[in-house]
Structure 1
């Protein structure tokens, strides 16, 4: 049986959605070898076409379009899912991003949205997403661009939301926020690409139908995340667009990639 490498993140939304496919619960003509990495690391490795299938930030699509193309299933997008800018005190957005701003990576959709909303930025400091809240709280940076579960926990660090970039994008475009999608390398045969898309969709549906089946896999990869935050994370990022991006989702992706 052919093996396909599949790069996705250890975040609860991905381990929940792709549990069935990774663990052989979906009938396919191939088997999956999962590689779990931070989203910005996946974005970087896409430049060399390292994985057959990979999750990628929509902000990274333009740079790797010669190697990968989007599948319709497995995406992370929707309303109310955007990244946040946080700081130690309430302040105008323009003031918050005038100093040192920690970001989770230059290829992330979050950074693309930040650059669109605030063309004039101060010093940008790249940190892994899960180090940003502490860097802001400790005064290493003036503000932080946060993604994933950090949107549920920034208050625990004594931080304040400056702006929700998802709300900003939705007001500007009347479109959902396109965070990330699953892409297939161009050298995969068309029939394999189609089967992979179907298998991912089936895996997401299996997750919806059997939400407890992936609990141990999700918890094993969620590090110190609480069960409550895991549940919030999954509920926010795994939705109808994860089954099929849909025409509205495709329009949102096209709009962001073109800006």
Structure 2
């Protein structure tokens, strides 16, 4: 038998593509968080169809996104290059996110919004990113009531305050300001103004968009916690944090957390430079807010300190958590750092 003779050809193999990594990202269902993170897309609905706002904003063509704006009631593609990452975005009440972070390991989110107070309870699990924080620079959560009252009235007998959760930063700072125990009940943040109006509570600690809309409901401001904090410290009040799981580095490899943090910053940068589309998407999460108030609220909490907390923002974080620890009303978080801080 004659041997089989032929030529040996080199067949080039396609380059090995890095596997896609899906990460969970949790944010509060309010407009500023939605504004920041929509450019990352979502592999699953962010809002459920039976509970999401029905009024869809229009008039903004979003580069790289099919539809104007993307609809959070279904999956949608990212507007920026997310590299090897894809995100499943989950919108939950901030106190629900706070409780997740201290709960069973199987319920932990990879990237999550947290109250800065809550972060002090999970420092062994999460690390802060320098981008994505919500800081009130001379303004912040408000204490409101049906009638004008002095601040001292809040600690009177039989005065009950509705609060958005005991791990929220707003609750922590209220305790600092009042300097003594007070009666309170926990409510979802969206239920606090109605509860005050109905007389179910005597006063309410309002966060998110209610900081701007409480007066339209006929309520009076008794205190602004951000103004009080600025007067006390000269620093911005770090209300909300963005954090990533420390153990993600095992999945992402060396410098993986820094790679992820840089992507999160790009999302905020894109949102700010594509403002009209970002506002249109954010309206899904604030259906009852007038356009001018929505823009004002987002400008309050998506700004230079959101892009990068800077040394000044980090000083606010350290002062808040250090003071709370010294008062014995929060765990000692140690010397807090931030991933990707630009000095």
State the partner residue of 2:25.
6
State the partner residue of 2:197.
137
Q: Give the SS at the match of 1:63.
A: coil
1:34 aligns with 2:89: yes
> How many residue pairs get matched?
259
Normalising by structure 1, what TM-score? Answer: 0.96
State the partner residue of 2:237.
177
Q: Which has the higher contact order (CA 8 A, sep 6+)?
A: 1
Normalising by structure 2, what TM-score? Answer: 0.73
Counterpart contact for 1:100–1:123, Cα < 8 Å: yes
Deviation at 1:74, TM superposition (A): 0.9
RMSD after superposition = 1.4
Stretch of structure 1 that moved more, 138-147 or 228-237: 228-237
Stretch of structure 1 that moved more, 177-186 or 223-232: 223-232
Deviations 1:70-123 (A, max 9, x none): 011111113133111111111110103431010000000000000000122331
1:239 aligns with 2:290: no
**CA distance, structure 2, for counterparts of residue 137 and residue 170 of structure 1:** 29
Q: Give the SS at the match of 1:7.
A: strand
**CA distance, structure 1, for counterparts of residue 113 and residue 289 of structure 2:** 21
Given candidates 57, 69, 79, the residue that maps to 1:25 is 79
Deviation at 1:222, TM superposition (A): 2.2
- The answer to which structure has the higher strand fraction is 1
**CA distance, structure 1, for counterparts of residue 155 and residue 88 of structure 2:** 40
Aligned residue runs from structure 1 range 103-252, under 5 A: 103-189=163-249, 190-252=254-316
Q: Give the SS at the match of 1:95.
A: helix
- The answer to which structure has the higher helix fraction is 1
**CA distance, structure 2, for counterparts of residue 223 and residue 158 of structure 1:** 20
Counterpart contact for 1:26–1:203, Cα < 8 Å: yes
Listed as ranges, the gaps of 5+ residues in structure 2 are 1-19, 42-76, 325-343
**CA distance, structure 1, for counterparts of residue 215 and residue 98 of structure 2:** 29
Stretch of structure 1 that moved more, 43-52 or 31-40: 43-52
Deviations 1:115-135 (A, max 9, x none): 000122331110011111111
**CA distance, structure 2, for counterparts of residue 216 and residue 155 of structure 1:** 25
Listed as ranges, the gaps of 5+ residues in structure 1 are none
Counterpart contact for 1:16–1:207, Cα < 8 Å: yes
Counterpart contact for 2:154–2:182, Cα < 8 Å: no
Deviation at 1:229, TM superposition (A): 2.6
Q: Give the SS at the match of 2:312.
A: helix
State the partner residue of 2:130.
72
State the partner residue of 1:16.
35
Stretch of structure 1 that moved more, 22-31 or 132-141: 22-31
Query: Segments of 4+ in structure 1 off by > 6 A?
Result: none
Greater Cα radius of gyration, structure 1 or 2: 2
